[in-house]
């Protein structure tokens, strides 16, 4: 169960579906609760819950710039600026942009991701706040997948079987394999404090997620017989997800005790068109 700013988000994530493009630079905090959280949020999961709380605008002006560099051509930059648009800061905004790219010890493997995040917030009186946010995350991984490297090989000229002698840069995968993802998230939120004890939060999320994947991997290689088997796939997917979360929190006195109450509604609607072209168990002779 993944939540954004305490509200239910899309629950149909796989290991590829947007998670590889998550960057902590836009988040103020990330909390993990093990076990069901239905009593706390109204949207629980037996295994646990992850709540991603994004950064909010500040009334005072603030700006920061962060850069990093490392081996294997790894570079990272983060720009963060925000503040109030009027004197009392009742209307405020924040914008964060980041880019991250780099390679690995193997020249085929490369990864880059970029994120843009903007949020506007306005106070409608002392008790009500409305906000609108947009987040765009793009990621591209080259050299995805994996493959098996044979431990033994057979010298075809002498018919002698010995240990393979591959170096650490050996990667049995095509250099054109890649995954490209784009995720757009639009958010509208209304928060109202009824009094000191009660508040109601309403959040709407709309997400669009695009995935394109091409991969060709060697799934089994036999060095003693000089043969191998490979798989190829070409996948395209475009998801659309609507989610609405309405939550009422408060406390009241009854029988000399203070009781907490959480009530609300949450639901989502998703559409996930998916096309796939694949060929498996392709035999490769004389490797």
Instruction: For residue range 243-267, list pLDDT tens digits in order.
Output: 898 989 889 888 989 898 888 888 8
Instruction: Tell me the two tokens of residue 71.
Output: 């081996």
| CATH of the structural domain 58-285, one choice from 3.40.190.10, 2.30.30.180, 2.40.170.20, 1.10.287.3610 | 2.40.170.20
Specify the pLDDT at position 236. 87
pLDDT attached to residue 68 = 93
Cα gap 83→92, rounded to integer Å? 6
More confident residue, 102 or 151: 102
The structural domains of the chain, with segments of one domain joined by +, span 58-285
- Asked if residue 193 has pLDDT above 80, the reply is yes
In the chain, the percentage of residues whose pLDDT exceeds 90 is 32
Instruction: Dump pLDDT digits (tens) for 111-136.
Output: 889 999 999 999 998 899 999 999 99
For the stretch 81-115, pLDDT in tens is 999 999 898 999 999 999 999 888 877 788 889 99
Give Rg (Cα) of the chain: 25
Q: What is the pLDDT of residue 167?
A: 73
pLDDT of residue 16: 43
Confidence of residue 272 (pLDDT cuts 50, 70, 90): confident
Confidence band for 279, pLDDT divided at 50, 70 and 90: low
For the entire predicted model, the pTM comes to 0.80
Return the structure tokens found at 67: 């850069």
Contact 118, 132 (CB under 8 A): no
Is 204 a residue whose pLDDT tops 70? Answer: yes
Enumerate residues 6+ apart whose C-beta is below 8 A from 277: 233, 234, 235
Residues 6+ apart with CB under 8 A from 178: 140, 141, 142, 143, 144, 213, 214, 215
**Is 66 exposed, middle or buried, given 0-12, 13-18 or 19+ CB atoms closer than 10 A?**
exposed
Query: What confidence category does residue 2 fall into, taking pLDDT thresholds of 50, 70 and 90?
Result: confident
* C-alpha dist (Å) from residue 256 to 195, 197, 260: 21, 16, 13
Q: Is the pLDDT of residue 14 over 50?
A: no
The SS3 of residue 41 is helix
Q: Are 269 and 242 in contact (CB under 8 A)?
A: yes
């Amino acid at each position: 169960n993944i939540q954004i700013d305490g509200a239910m988000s899309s629950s149909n994530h796989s290991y590829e579906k947007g998670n590889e493009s998550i960057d902590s630079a836009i988040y103020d905090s990330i909390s993990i609760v093990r076990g069901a959280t239905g009593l706390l949020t109204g949207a629980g999961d037996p295994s646990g819950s992850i709540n991603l709380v994004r950064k909010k605008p500040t009334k005072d002006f603030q700006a920061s710039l962060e850069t990093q560099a490392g081996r294997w051509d790894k570079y990272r930059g983060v720009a963060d600026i925000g503040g109030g648009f009027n004197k009392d800061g009742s209307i405020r905004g924040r914008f964060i942009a980041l880019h991250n790219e780099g390679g690995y010890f193997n020249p085929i493997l490369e990864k880059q991701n970029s994120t843009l995040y903007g949020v506007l917030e306005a106070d409608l009186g002392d008790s009500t706040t409305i906000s609108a946010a947009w987040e765009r995350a793009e990621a591209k991984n080259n050299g995805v997948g994996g493959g098996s490297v044979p431990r033994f090989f057979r010298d075809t000229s002498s018919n002698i079987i010995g240990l393979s002698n591959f170096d650490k840069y050996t990667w049995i995968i095509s250099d054109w394999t890649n995954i490209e993802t784009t995720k757009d998230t639009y958010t509208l939120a209304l928060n109202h404090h009824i009094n000191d004890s009660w508040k109601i939060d309403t959040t709407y999320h709309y997400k669009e997620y695009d995935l394109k994947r091409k991969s060709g991997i060697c799934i089994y290689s036999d060095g003693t017989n000089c043969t191998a088997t490979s798989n190829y796939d070409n996948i395209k997917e475009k998801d659309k997800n609507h989610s609405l979360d309405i939550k009422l929190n408060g406390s009241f006195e009854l029988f000399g005790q203070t009781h907490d109450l959480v009530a609300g509604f949450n639901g989502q609607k998703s559409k996930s068109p998916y096309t796939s072209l694949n060929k498996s168990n392709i035999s490769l002779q004389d490797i």
